[in-house]
Structure 1
Amino acid sequence: MKRSRTMSCLIAGAVALATLVVASPAASAAGTGTGYWSARGAQLVDATGAPVRMTGINWFGSETANFTFHGLWTRNYRDMVGQMAQLGYNTIRVPYSNQMLDAGSTPNSIDLAKNPDLAGLSGIQIIDKVVAEAGRRGMRVILDRHRPDAGAQSPLWYTSAYPESRWISDWKALAARYKGNPTVIGADLHNEPHSVQGGSGSCWGCGDNARDWRLAAERAGNAILGVNPDWLIIVEGVDCVTGTGTPECGWWGGNLAGAKQFPVRLSKPEKLVYSAHEYATSVFAQPWFSDPTYPANMPGLWDHFFGYLEKENTAPVLLGEFGTTLADSRDGVWLRELMKYAGTGTSGMDFTYWSWNPNSGDTGGILNDDWTTVNTAKQAYLTPYLIPPVGGGGPSDPPPPPGACTANYHLDNSWNGGFQATVKITNTGGDAVSNWAARWTVPSGVQLVNGWGATVSQTGQTITAAAPSWSPTLASGASVSVGFVANGPSSPGASAFRLGSTDCTVT
């Protein structure tokens, strides 16, 4: 399925038509570091203050009518994530649509013989699986709200079917879903906001709440940080910004010139990352590719559109999409110069290449059309700049066991005739557990009074903690703590802990 892109800004300046997921073990790697990330000036740092850098790849499909990653019709998802890590990519940018989150948006075109553990899962539950596998390999994930619906990208961040309120509420739900799981490090708020002919569409700094993308990004970003203060908030540019010098127009999402006068203001400024998209002449014949000084003109152009934010130590810039078919002789020159501009090592500009998929109609992919072999010509341009995840392994690595858990029982308080205790259950298996239920046995004479952190009930000597409706999935590596008060003896405590049908190891 081709991914079409209609690029803006012809030479004349007209616009072309065109909370239970916690404590997942964080990687300790040169590129991905430890714990959550923040910005220190233009440098991303991990929870210890060590510099980190995204050198990643886009894997699209969840934003389309397949409602899941493309390529699952021919390969196992764990194999593909492992191959990404083996090639040196340490981050996956995952596009999705709000429609994917709707009830009835059923993932399709999956070879279940190759992906048996994806049977019956929703689109977001399949993303959970990829997140778990990426985390196991030391990688990070950023979520990209690519489209409101599966049909097409939108110039504004909302449509009549998916208004701003839905856009923000979905982001808040995702922020809660992955809270405490440092594999998922941030939210790319909306893909490629852009203007449309006639003066509508997105603007930057115009002050119109219905059109000003910078103001909308502040509203959404601060709402997300209110739920998950650990996430990076990734804000793309627009295409055209008047009054910022020549040229005024660039790629959709690629023009951040307006951020100098009108910066994005977040409640946690250290969580702001700007993002720009940049493409080759084979995607669209922008005028700068025909400049007689090409490619010497390109660093100045990149400075103008986005690079100044890094050079002035304002904020990190993520090259969220850049790609090429290498069909035009100028394309390889462009890619070579762009990577030199981005720089090497952890101090270089962050990037996620478009795309892993070979079925991007504009660019092709790192994979060839067989979805297995690598386009070595493209990969050769990127390899010197990649910072692999430590211990990323390869596609042949065996997955962790599908069912495993640990349990910790703590007596919080006791009194004559009753007690309060907490049970912490950790999913140590390789798969997320949907609609989870934990159970344990209490001594004779213990009677539950109430519980919290789940839907807690008692039958005989068995207490059951069932997943609440607002957090039905326990991701791989995640934990849930359930508190309860009971009448009866506080000793000898509880025993026979289980997660679903799996016996848990007591810690």
Structure 2
Amino acid sequence: MRAKWWGGLAAVLTTAAAVLTLAQPAQAAAGFTVSGTRILDANGNTFLMRGVNHAHTWYAGQTSTSLANIKALGANTVRVVLASGQRWTANPASDVTTVISQCKANRLICVLEVHDTTGYGEQSGAATLAQAVDYWISIKSALTGQENFVILNIGNEPYGNGTASANWTADTKSAITRLRAAGFQHQIMVDAPNWGQDWQFIMRDNAASVFAADPQRNTVFSIHMYGVFDTAAEINDYLGRFQTANLPIVVGEFGHDHSDGNPDEDTILATAQQRGIGYLGWSWSGNGGGVEYLDMVTNFNPAQLTSWGQRIFNGANGIKATSKEATVFGGVSPSPSSSSASPSPSVSPSTSTPPPAGGCTATYAISNQWGGGFQGTVTVKAGSSAITGWTVTWTWPNGQRFTNTWNTTAATSGETVTARNAPYNGTLAAGATTSFGFTASSGATNAVPSPVSCAAS
């Protein structure tokens, strides 16, 4: 137990009860949906956010080129700062329409957030969540029909560390209910209180009831990880509790340093990749007030990546190595390019072994490569009968080794890999498929293993 600081107030981390597990029927008619801990795009495919934040409301003139540059560095999502009029001049519907069009032109999923709510109760002039909902309703014309491409983040970091944060649960439920009553079909994202860091565990311990308040069961929770999350234990415990409760969570903001402490960005990235959790780093460029070190590029110039920019875009478990474009843009993600020199990604052939009757097949494919490493996907398909579990095995031909895996429990003994289903993806109907992914190290040769065997249970 140690003291943490945000906005000048000390915050002591305490233990609390885990959130309750809740069944989640996917009821939304269109756009992004929730399935257990996963976010699905409009085609029903798992989507992992790999992106950054862009401060549009303060740098609107930079948005067009910034989105293109963010995409060129490999991102699949951008979280866009908007204003509702309480602290900054409101972005009108026409402007939001333009932003969405620019996101779509760059094949980026657009997470839109109202920033005026930041630190309500401590920050002078901050908006309430109710005022944020008023804003969303006022610009509904720009959002209707964009459910396949837009996620609504109701309000950024609502509530500071004061007593008002106790109202987060009731106010968040009310905000979700009002948006649904107004006809919004979008996936909704909700930020934690305590300046987004939830050190009081208000969001964590009330997430199940907030999720249940959404008649569409299509709400995603967003934690911001700065100084409160400076150890691997804290990061893994927080994210793990949401997954144990079968609730969807993303890391909506994080950095490599902060005035309230030094976040463990390496663990944030690795854990997000291992657990199949989306992340959005803060932020592209334009930071001030003493946190300029959070700029990923200098003066909006993609040729001037900062150390933080290099880390999140090009480092281990970073955007370049793990990002896949949403399939709503019409297919498999193209290989990301980068302004910094790196080997060109390539795709290798896949291999599979035919199943016995009532068994399963496993298809191994390399989806992205870079110097010294690669990303792969294994697709498991049930045979002529339903299965309740699967085990995939292969032998590495060239000394490859996992660096991260997701949607599976995998182990390596020498050159032999054994990958088993996770608790949520073992049951498959006849002919149905699921997939798991991984990143791995490789040498100059990276051949596809053969055979890749699948045993069903």
Q: Same fold by TM (over 0.5)?
A: yes
State the SS of the aligned residue for 1:10: strand
| Residues 84, 116 of structure 2: 8 Å contact kept | yes
Conserved? CA contact 1:82–1:394, under 8 Å: no
1:190–1:329 distance in 2 versus 1, CA, 3 Å: closer
Q: Which has the higher contact order (CA 8 A, sep 6+)?
A: 1
Aligned to 1:139: 108
Alignment equivalent of 1:126, drawn from 95, 105, 113: 95
- In the alignment, which residue of structure 2 is the partner of 1:201? 164
* Offset of residue 370 of structure 1: 5.3
Identify which of 141, 144, 157 aligns with 1:192: 157
8 Å Cα contact 2:119-2:158 kept in structure 1: yes
Pick aligned residue for 2:218 from 265, 271, 283? 271
Asked whether the 8 Å contact 1:358–1:365 carries over to 2, the reply is yes
State the partner residue of 1:233: 188
1:379 alignment partner in structure 2: 313
Structure 1 counterpart of 2:147: 182
> Any conservation in 1 of the 2:86–2:116 contact (CA below 8 Å)?
no
Alignment match, 1:321: 253
Contiguous gaps of at least 5 residues in structure 1: 15-33, 107-121, 204-211, 241-248, 290-294, 397-507
Per the normalisation by structure 1, the TM-score is 0.52
Q: Kindly report which structure 2 residues correspond to 1:36-51, keeping only aligned pairs within 5 A, or say none.
A: 36-51=31-46
State the match for 2:296 in structure 1: 366
CA distance in 2 between counterparts of 1:88 and 1:271 reads: 27
1:325 positional shift: 4.6
Displacement of 1:38: 0.4
Cα distance change of structure 1 residues 267 and 388 upon mapping to structure 2, 3 Å threshold: closer
User: Residue 276 and residue 8 in structure 1: after superposition, are their counterparts in 2 closer, same or farther (change >3 A)?
Assistant: farther
Q: Can you list the C-alpha shifts for 1:137-189, whole angstroms capped at 9, x where unaligned?
A: 221111111115xxxx3324998885665332212233443111235422212
* Structure 2 length-normalised TM: 0.57
Q: Secondary structure at the match of 1:372?
A: strand
- Between 1:370-379 and 1:79-88, the stretch displaced more is 370-379
User: 1:191, 1:253 within 8 Å by CA — same for their partners in 2?
Assistant: no
Distance 2:103 2:197 in 1: 33
Q: Distance in 2 between matches of 1:301 and 1:370?
A: 33
Q: Is the 8 A contact 2:73 2:338 kept in 1?
A: no
Conserved 8 A contact 1:157-1:164: no
Give the Cα–Cα distance (whole angstroms) in 1 for the partners of residues 122 and 44 of structure 2.
Answer: 33
Structure 1 pair 254–187 and aligned structure 2 pair: CA distance change class (3 A) = farther
Please report how far the alpha carbon of residue 263 of structure 1 lies from its aligned counterpart in structure 2 after TM superposition: 3.9
C-alpha deviation, 1:358, in angstroms:
4.4
Pair 1:177–1:369, CA change in 2 (3 A): closer
Larger radius of gyration: 1
Deviation of 1:254 (Å)? 7.7
Q: Does the CA-based 8 Å contact 1:356-1:367 persist in structure 2? A: yes
Matches of 1:132 and 1:157, distance apart in 2: 35
Q: Write the letter of the residue equivalent to 2:49.
A: M
Residues 86, 126 of structure 2: 8 Å contact kept: no
Contact 2:154 2:188 in 1 (8 A): yes
Q: How many residues align?
A: 306
Deviations 1:121-141 (A, max 9, x none): x65433322210211222111
Shift >6 Å, 4+ stretches: 157-161, 326-330, 392-396
Give the corresponding residue for 2:375.
Answer: none
Of 285, 299, 304, the residue aligned with 1:357 is 285
Write the deviation string for residues 307-349 of structure 1: whole angstroms up to 9, x where unpaired.
Answer: 3112332x21011100125999966xx21111111115xx710
| Mapped contact 2:116–2:127 kept (Cα < 8 A) | no
The 3-state SS of whatever aligns with 2:139 is helix
Change (3 A) 1:392 1:187: farther
Give me the whole-angstrom Cα distance separating, in 2, the residues matched to 1:322 and 1:89.
15
Kept after mapping to 2: 8 A contact 1:178/1:184: no
Partner SS state of residue 297, structure 2: coil
Any idea what SS the aligned residue of 1:186 has? strand
Unaligned runs of 5+ in 2: 15-28, 327-332, 340-457
Alpha-carbon distance in structure 1 between the residues aligned to 2:49 and 2:105: 17
Post-superposition Cα deviations, 1:453-479, rounded to whole Å, max 9, x if no partner, equal xxxxxxxxxxxxxxxxxxxxxxxxxxx
Once the two structures are superposed, the pairs formed by residues 480-499 of structure 1 within 5 Å of their partners are: none
Using the alignment, how far apart are the partners of 1:393 and 1:377 within structure 2? Answer: 16
Separation of aligned partners in 2, 1:178 and 1:195: 29
Asked if structure 2 preserves the Cα contact closer than 8 Å seen for 1:321 and 1:354, the reply is yes
Q: Secondary structure at the match of 2:212?
A: coil
AA aligned opposite 1:320: G
Pair 1:53-2:48 in alignment: yes
Change (3 A) 1:159 1:219: farther
Using a 3 Å threshold, how does the CA distance of structure 1 residues 377 and 160 change in structure 2: closer, same or farther? closer
Partner of 1:95: 81
Distance 1:274 1:154 in 2: 17
Residues 59-458 of structure 1 mapped to structure 2, 5 A cutoff: 59-62=54-57, 66=58, 68-69=59-60, 72=61, 75=62, 77-99=63-85, 105=89, 124-148=93-117, 153-156=118-121, 165-182=130-147, 184-197=149-162, 200-203=163-166, 212-239=167-194, 256-259=203-206, 262-279=209-226, 284=227, 286=228, 289=230, 295=231, 298=232, 300-313=233-246, 315-325=247-257, 334-343=264-273, 348-360=276-288, 361-362=290-291, 363-369=293-299, 371-373=301-303, 374-375=305-306, 376-381=310-315, 382=318, 383-388=320-325, 390=333
Distance 2:200 2:84 in 1: 19
Mapped to 1, the partners of 2:180 and 2:122 lie a distance apart of 18
Contact kept in structure 2, 1:236 and 1:254, CA below 8 Å = no
Q: CA RMSD in A?
A: 4.0
- Residue in 2 that maps onto 1:468: none
| Contact 1:58–1:93 (Cα < 8 Å) also in 2 | yes
